[in-house]
């Protein structure tokens, strides 16, 4: 049965790729990235293959690891929801990895084998979480992806180890709460397999232990999904982490938390019956509504583009969980569709930020004037993704919001309808603020801004970007320990120290290791490996928008749990 | 009352450990103390699982011809197997956290959260 084996391959291939990468680095460092791409691409092929079987046969694919039948052994199972998630993770993992080649910060390049190894482990954890049908296995893969995620964040800018540590503390708390809830379920039912637990639980699901377990598991995954007010780890982690990390993590990292919530609510518990004993649905719905508004409002207040997108992630995860909490078919379809759409949107947006930082070395919204002329193609992709975030019709974002509003109307919860509409306006406000800077703002006189910003240079990045002015890079002499040989040929044209002494005097002097990332592809065209993923994600937003009817008809329809 | 405490002493102990751990993680301002709180929480949950395992009058879960094959005569081996994995995960988490703390200390020269936050502003 090759179709069932392919489920195991999806996990095993990236796992071995991760183990191999440091060894391959010893043999030949040029092979590291191709091998990582190969592993990720193979996982993508296997997941497409397995998912296509699920879609064509309209039945889940099972694989029992080690030949132990399900209640005892660990079962991998690809149903329609897992199929959506697995293809999503595999596709974005591959695209972001492709981007990693040119978009990766120079500072990371000498250690890119460890970075890519951790990246592969992160995707192993995510694949495992969405494929497994065993609660404890879910916990293990949750920790695998989390551990890799912490280390991926920690190699970013100056504050990143601290941000990673805070995420580690909160993330471990979430995982431990989940594990505790799992312990309650195991004590109650004596089983760990989703289906088996669900069967045995249906007779005791009013017991206090089952309700406590439900609350614990939802809180645990709520932390992972960054559901407001459990989102405290997210903005710092996203803002400080490397662009490659954040593009992947923002796209699928929190979504897997939402997937976990879906499993707990609908696969393990029959939430329609349990909700009368514990108002988890009401709490989750209202928290999501608050998350949507609060995330959008906080995003408006940011001047750091990455931080703005991070807060916008907090708000977008609210849409997903709001959809689940509506407890009707349209709501669930809207929620899952929004997982897919938002993953592509956020991935595209963060990749654009990565390309922009490669080009100009900063991400300050106030200094984006004229970017539309400097990087027309990339900024066009940004615009598509931004329009999709706002939810205008031809793009993907419109359709998930459409289903969410339909669901809210069906549930006759008009407050939620209002929340979704208002937040679309807020999204428009903070994205058009950026787009206005990028395309319309003409006050791109670098001199003036340099003066103004050095005054306000509370943050180190402002100071450095000011020196850069527009696209003028800082002298390479300020970055120590960078062998010239590592730079690609087109970076050799960097204007060197000739103009730097005068300019350097305007910066706040700081030890060079504290300087934030400088533009590492300042001149010439962006390499195809940087542009292609951005273009693909942007185009797929349009395809997803046009194909959403097909997706709902052939895939998402089957996700809706029975009884809704 | 006293029966409730003595009869369920293991659960009381675990509850207290969980609360101590969460308190340490959330309320302490020193990052190393947060990490210690995290470890206490992990130990508490490992103990919780282990306390599900034993049965009255049961022996260790290795087949013994004199005991027979009734499941009630053997302790449940599964929680221990699960916790073995959880301990491994816990060790990895602690190791990573310590490595991060070394980096944090090198960058900021302190492990006090307030000071680091101040410097990051």
A342-362 pLDDT tens trace? 999 999 999 988 888 888 877
Cβ contact (<8 Å) for A161 and B104?
yes
Of A17 and A157, more confident:
A17
State whether residue A165 sits within 8 Å of chain B by CB: yes
Name chain A contacts of B101, Cβ cutoff 8 Å.
161, 165
CA-to-CA dists, residue A214 to A184, A264, A320, angstroms: 9, 7, 19
Give residue A516's pLDDT: 52
Predicted confidence (pLDDT) per residue in A298-330, tens digit: 998 888 888 999 999 999 999 999 999 988 888
Label residue A176 by pLDDT band (50, 70, 90): very high
Q: Would the pLDDT of A459 be above 50?
A: no
Give residue A2's pLDDT: 60
Name chain A contacts of B22, Cβ cutoff 8 Å.
173
d(CA B105, CA B100): 9
Q: By three-state DSSP, how is residue A564 classified?
A: coil
Q: Would the pLDDT of A545 be above 70?
A: yes
Name chain B contacts of A514, Cβ cutoff 8 Å.
107
Contact B37, B28 (CB under 8 A): yes
d(CA A127, CA A124): 5
Label residue A364 by pLDDT band (50, 70, 90): confident
Cα within 13 Å of Cα(A213), Cβ side: 27
Cβ contact (<8 Å) for A168 and B96?
yes
Segment A452-468 shows an average pLDDT of: 41
Nearest to A172 by CA among B33, B37, B29: B37
Label residue A396 by pLDDT band (50, 70, 90): confident
ipTM score here?
0.94
Name chain A contacts of B78, Cβ cutoff 8 Å.
186
Label residue A549 by pLDDT band (50, 70, 90): confident
Contact A257, A125 (CB under 8 A): no
Give residue A495's pLDDT: 42
Give residue A442's pLDDT: 67
Label residue A455 by pLDDT band (50, 70, 90): very low
**H-only helix segments in B1-121:** 2-7, 9-27, 31-50, 78-108, 113-120
**H-only helix segments in A303-445:** 305-325, 329-360, 371-374, 376-390, 396-410, 414-435
Q: Would the pLDDT of A272 be above 70?
A: yes
With CA atoms as reference, the chain B residue closest to A146 would be B93
Cβ contact (<8 Å) for B45 and A180?
yes
Cβ contact (<8 Å) for A158 and B31?
no
Predicted confidence (pLDDT) per residue in A86-127, tens digit: 999 999 999 998 887 776 766 777 778 888 999 999 999 999
d(CA A161, CA A265): 34
Give residue A362's pLDDT: 77
Cβ contact (<8 Å) for A165 and B31?
yes
Cβ contact (<8 Å) for A150 and B86?
no
Q: Would the pLDDT of A3 be above 80?
A: no
Name chain A contacts of B85, Cβ cutoff 8 Å.
136, 140
State whether residue B100 sits within 8 Å of chain A by CB: yes
DSSP bridge partners of A63: A76
Contact A138, A197 (CB under 8 A): no
Cβ contact (<8 Å) for A183 and B22?
no
Name chain B contacts of A172, Cβ cutoff 8 Å.
38, 41-42, 93
A373-378 long-range contacts, CB within 8 A, separation 24+: A374/A470, A374/A471, A375/A526, A377/A531, A377/A535, A378/A352, A378/A526, A378/A531, A378/A534
Give residue A445's pLDDT: 45
Give residue A170's pLDDT: 92
Q: What count of CB pairs under 8 Å joins A to B? A: 72
Predicted confidence (pLDDT) per residue in B8-43, tens digit: 888 899 999 999 999 999 898 999 999 999 999 999
Predicted confidence (pLDDT) per residue in A122-149, tens digit: 999 999 999 999 999 999 999 999 999 9
Mean pLDDT of chain A: 81
Name chain A contacts of B10, Cβ cutoff 8 Å.
none
d(CA A444, CA A455): 18
Site of tokens 């703390």? B101
With CA atoms as reference, the chain B residue closest to A192 would be B78
**H-only helix segments in A436-482:** 446-455, 460-468
For residue B69 the two structure tokens come to 């094959």
Cβ contact (<8 Å) for B93 and A147?
yes
By Cβ distance, the residue of B22, B52, B103 closest to A161 is: B103
B 50-89 → A contacts, CB under 8 A? 52, 78-79, 82, 85-86, 89
Of A49 and A394, more confident:
A49
Mean pLDDT of chain B: 88
Predicted confidence (pLDDT) per residue in B62-97, tens digit: 888 888 888 788 888 888 889 999 999 999 999 999
Q: By three-state DSSP, how is residue A474 classified?
A: coil
Q: Return the DSSP state at B69.
A: S
Nearest to A318 by CA among A333, A299, A339, A298: A339
Of A474 and A142, more confident:
A142
Give residue A342's pLDDT: 92
Segment A491-516 shows an average pLDDT of: 41
Q: Would the pLDDT of B99 be above 80?
A: yes
State whether residue B46 sits within 8 Å of chain A by CB: no
Site of tokens 């922009």? A356
Label residue A494 by pLDDT band (50, 70, 90): very low
Least confident of A35-44, A178-187, A477-486: A477-486
- pTM of the model as a whole: 0.85
d(CA A108, CA A181): 39
Q: Would the pLDDT of A515 be above 70?
A: no
């Amino acid at each position: 049965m090759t179709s069932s084996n392919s489920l195991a391959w999806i996990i095993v291939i990236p796992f071995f790729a991760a183990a191999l990468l440091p060894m391959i680095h010893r043999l030949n460092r040029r092979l590291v990235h191709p091998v990582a791409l190969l592993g990720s691409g193979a996982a993508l092929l296997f997941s497409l293959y397995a998912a296509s079987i699920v879609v064509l046969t309209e039945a889940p694919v099972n694989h029992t690891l080690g030949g132990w039948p399900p209640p005892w052994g660990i079962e991998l199972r690809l149903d329609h929801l897992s199929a959506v998630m697995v293809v999503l993770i595999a596709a974005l993992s591959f695209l972001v990895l492709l981007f990693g080649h040119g978009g990766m910060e120079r500072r990371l390049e000498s250690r890119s084998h460890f970075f890519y190894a951790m990246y592969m482990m992160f995707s192993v954890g995510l694949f495992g979480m969405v494929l497994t049908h065993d609660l404890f296995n879910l916990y293990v893969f949750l920790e695998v992806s989390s551990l890799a995620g912490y280390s991926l964040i920690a190699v970013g800018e100056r504050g990143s180890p601290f941000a990673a540590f805070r995420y580690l503390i909160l993330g471990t708390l979430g995982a431990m709460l989940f594990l505790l809830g799992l312990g309650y379920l195991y004590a109650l039912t004596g089983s760990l397999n989703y289906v088996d637990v669900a069967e045995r639980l249906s007779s005791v699901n009013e017991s206090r232990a089952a309700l406590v377990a439900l609350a614990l598991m939802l809180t645990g995954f709520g932390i992972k999904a960054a559901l407001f007010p459990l989102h405290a780890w997210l903005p710092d982690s996203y803002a400080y982490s490397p662009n490659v990390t954040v593009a992947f993590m923002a796209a699928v990292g929190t979504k897997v938390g939402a997937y976990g919530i879906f499993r707990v609510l609908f696969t393990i518990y029959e939430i329609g019956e349990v909700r009368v004993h514990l108002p988890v649905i009401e709490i989750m719905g209202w928290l999501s509504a608050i998350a949507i508004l609060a995330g959008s409002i906080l995003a408006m207040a940011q001047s750091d583009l990455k931080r703005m997108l991070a807060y916008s992630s907090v708000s977008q995860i609210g849409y997903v969980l709001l959809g689940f909490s509506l407890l009707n078919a349209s709501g669930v379809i809207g929620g899952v569709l929004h997982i897919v759409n938002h993953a592509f949107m956020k991935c595209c947006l963060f990749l654009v930020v990565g390309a922009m930082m490669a080009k100009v070395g900063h991400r300050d919204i106030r200094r984006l004037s004229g970017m539309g002329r400097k990087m027309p193609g990339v900024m066009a992709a940004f615009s598509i993704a931004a329009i999709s975030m706002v939810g205008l019709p031809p793009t993907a974002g419109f359709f998930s919001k459409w289903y969410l509003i339909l669901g809210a109307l069906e549930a006759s919860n008009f407050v939620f309808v209002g929340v979704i509409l208002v937040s679309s306006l807020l999204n428009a406000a903070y994205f058009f603020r950026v787009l206005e800077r990028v395309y319309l703002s003409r006050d791109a006189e670098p001199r003036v801004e340099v003066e103004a910003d050095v005054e306000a240079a509370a943050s180190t990045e402002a100071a450095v970007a000011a020196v850069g002015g527009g696209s003028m890079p800082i002298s390479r002499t300020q970055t120590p320990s960078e062998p010239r040989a590592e730079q690609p040929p087109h970076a050799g044209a960097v204007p060197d120290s000739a103009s730097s002494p005068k300019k350097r005097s305007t910066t706040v002097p700081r030890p060079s290791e504290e300087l934030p990332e400088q533009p590492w592809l300042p001149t010439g065209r962006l390499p195809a490996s940087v542009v292609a993923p951005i273009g693909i994600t942007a185009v797929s937003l349009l395809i997803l928008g046009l194909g959403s009817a097909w997706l709902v008809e052939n895939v998402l329809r089957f996700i809706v749990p029975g009884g809704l | 009352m006293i029966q409730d405490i003595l009869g369920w002493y293991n659960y009381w102990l675990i509850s207290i450990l969980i609360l101590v751990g969460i308190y340490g993680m959330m309320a302490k301002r020193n990052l190393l103390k947060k990490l210690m709180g995290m470890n206490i929480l992990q130990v508490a949950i490992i103990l919780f699982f282990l306390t599900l395992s034993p049965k009255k009058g049961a022996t260790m879960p290795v087949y013994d011809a004199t005991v027979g094959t009734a499941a009630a005569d053997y302790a449940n081996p599964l929680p221990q197997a699960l916790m073995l994995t959880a301990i491994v995960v816990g060790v990895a988490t602690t190791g990573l956290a310590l490595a991060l703390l070394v980096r944090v200390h090198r960058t900021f020269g302190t492990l006090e959260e307030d000071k680091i936050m101040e410097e990051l502003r």
